[in-house]
Structure 1
Amino acid sequence: MSLQFELLTESPGQWTSASYVIPEIQKKEIKPFVVLSLKELEGNPDSRTSSLTNSSKFSAVRAVVRHVARSRSATKEPWCATDIRNFLENLKFNPECAEELTALLCTDKIYDNIPRHLYIKQRLDNMQWKIDLSLCQNNIEAENANPERAKEIIQRDTHIILILKLTDAQTKTYRLSISKFHELRYVIASALKSMIVLEKRKCMRQD
């Protein structure tokens, strides 16, 4: 699975309601719906939007355009047509509609006027870590430390180096003491536990 396809399909639950009308959408409706959707995203809604007789179909296409436009901000690479087409076909667009919509969504210039508040933040793509003993080893040698003192120096001067790679190809490097590393682990574990508790609540479930 490519990173782009993973990005597009990371929240499948949001398409539950749209899935009922997507198979009914016709090819001739795709381009007008995309144009109206982009106008809304750019902050210039067209008056024709309020008088649409097939508003449920338009809402489904608008949701797709909005999702793809927001996700586009998380990658510097143009959309892969195959990933977009597979994403649309998984949503049950018929092949003709999927082909038409793919051609439009893979045109990079349509995203030029999307407001920045609709962009999504960069995500973590990969994380690596390693232990840096160089400082504590130098200090142990400099002090000619006995075993007990050496343990104190190791605890104090050992560092964990975190290397984070983001979805926009940026690399962030952080140097943490052992105590700060354990503090980070605790904060992350607490956040994950809170998320699990929230997901179990009825109000957070999607029908």
Structure 2
Amino acid sequence: MSQQLELLTENPAQWSTILYVTPEILKKEIKPFVVLALKELEGNPDSRTSSLMNADKFSAVRSVVRHVTRSRSATKEAWSQEDIKTFLEGLRFSPDCVAELTSLLCLEKMYENIPKHLRTKPGLVNLQWRIDLSLSQSNIASENADPERSKEIMRRDTHVILMLTLTNGQTNTYRLSISKFHELRYTIASALKNMIVLEKRSCMRKE
């Protein structure tokens, strides 16, 4: 699976409700729905949106456009038509609708006027880490430190190197002291715990 397709399909549960609607959408409805959805995203909603006869169909297409548009900012490359097609087929759009929607979603000019607050940050693809002892070993040698002093230097000057690969292809490297590394671990663990608590609250559940 490509990184783009992984980004598009990372949360399949969010599509459970629209899977009952997408097979009924007609090809001729795709383009008008996409235009209306884009106007909403750009902050210029069309008055026709509130009086649509096929509100459920529009809502389904709008969800797809919003998701693809937001995800677009997390990757440097233009969407692969094959990945978009695979994504849409998984949502049970008809072959005609898949072809029409794919051609529209792969147009780069479609994303030019999307406000920055709707753009997603790149996701994490891979994380690697290693222990860097070079500074501590150098300082121990230069001081000709005894065993007790060597332990102090090791605690102070040993670093953890984190290498993060993002969905946009960028690689970031961070150099952390042992204490800062443990602080990062604690912060992440606390954030995950809070997310689990929030997810269990009834107000956060989709109906």
1:20, distance to aligned residue in structure 2 (A): 2.0
Residue 38 of structure 1 is matched in structure 2 by 38
Amino acid at match of 2:187: V
Q: Distance in 2 between matches of 1:125 and 1:15?
A: 22
Q: d(CA) in 1 for partners of 2:39 and 2:201?
A: 37
For 1:13, the equivalent position in structure 2 comes to 13
Counterpart contact for 1:13–1:206, Cα < 8 Å: no
Counterpart Cα distance in 1 of 2:202 and 2:118: 28
Query: TM-score, normalising length from structure 1?
Result: 0.92
Partner residue in 2 for 1:171: 171
Q: Could you list the runs of 5+ residues in structure 1 that have no partner in the other structure?
A: none
Spell out, residue by residue over 1:47-94, the C-alpha distance to the aligned partner (whole angstroms, 9 max, x if none): 222222111111111111111111111111111111111111111111
Q: Which residue of 1 aligns with 2:84?
A: 84
Q: Secondary structure at the match of 2:126?
A: strand
Counterpart in the other structure of 2:118: 118
- Aligned partners of 1:144, 1:71: CA distance in 2, in Å? 54
TM-score by length of 2: 0.92
- Cα distance in 2 for residues equivalent to 1:201 and 1:39: 33
User: What's the CA shift string for 1:104-151, capped at 9, x where partnerless?
Assistant: 111111111111111011222222211111111111111111122211
Q: Which residue of structure 2 lines up, in the alignment, with residue 29 of structure 1?
A: 29
| Stretches of structure 2 lacking an aligned partner (at least 5 in a row) | none
RMSD between aligned residues: 1.6
**Structure 1: distance between partners of 2:203 and 2:46:** 35
Give 1:169 shift.
2.6
- CA deviation after TM superposition for structure 1 residue 200, in Å: 3.6
Q: Distance in 1 between matches of 2:128 and 2:174?
A: 11
What is the Cα deviation at residue 197 of structure 1? 3.3
User: Which one-letter code corresponds to 2:113 in the other structure?
Assistant: N
2:52 paired residue number: 52
* Structure 2 match to 1:134: 134
Q: Is the 8 A contact 1:159 1:176 kept in 2?
A: yes
CA distance in 1, matches of 2:183, 2:47: 54
Give runs of aligned pairs for residues 59-70 of structure 1, distance below 5 A: 59-70=59-70
Q: State the aligned residue count.
A: 207
